[in-house]
Amino acid sequence: MWLLEPGTSRRSLRAILRLALLFLYQSVVAGVDVARRALDPGLPLRPGFVAYPTRLPRGLRRNVFATLTSLLPGTVPAGEEEAQLLYHCLDVDQPVIAELDQEEAALVRALYND
């Protein structure tokens, strides 16, 4: 919390807990999927890039989101262009955009509920 920008918004402990549980759940699911793909050469991999249209402004908020999502297996933030973050994914056929959208909404509810 010390690294968050000062402001009048109130942090929601409930939303922070929900964000932590969502992150833990997605980390386990994604970690199992990555391990399964690594150990089974028959499973398809379609590596590539997806552009995620973030609603977060450039700066601290977007950086916090990119840092949070960099911890999830299977996706890595690889750059940004204006209102989009570029992610490298192990499988572009997976619902990466939907998962990132869910993470962004949870982060906003937890930390930036202005």
**Does residue 8 sit within a domain?**
no
The parent domain of residue 21 ranges over: 13-111
Residue 3 forms part of a structural domain: no
The pTM for the full model equals: 0.71
Q: Does some domain include residue 1?
A: no
Domain count for the chain, please give it.
1
Residue-level pLDDT at 2: 54
Q: Which of 32, 46, 44 is nearest to 96 (CA)?
A: 46
Q: Per-residue pLDDT tens for 25-40?
A: 877 887 787 788 778 8
Task: Confirm whether 5 is domain-assigned.
Answer: no
Q: How many CB atoms lie within 10 A of CB 104?
A: 21
Question: According to the model, what pLDDT value does residue 70 have?
Answer: 85
The pLDDT, as a whole number, for residue 50 is 95
Say yes or no to pLDDT of 55 above 70. yes
Look at residue 99 and tell me if it is in a domain.
yes
- CA–CA separation, 98 vs 114, rounded Å? 23
- H helix count then E strand count, the chain: 3, 3
User: Which contacts qualify for 3-9: CB closer than 8 Å, 24 or more apart?
Assistant: 3/60, 4/60, 4/64, 4/111, 5/60, 7/114, 8/114, 9/112, 9/113, 9/114
User: Does any domain span residue 52?
Assistant: yes
pLDDT (tens digit per residue) in 68-108 = 888 877 889 999 988 899 999 988 988 899 989 988 998 88
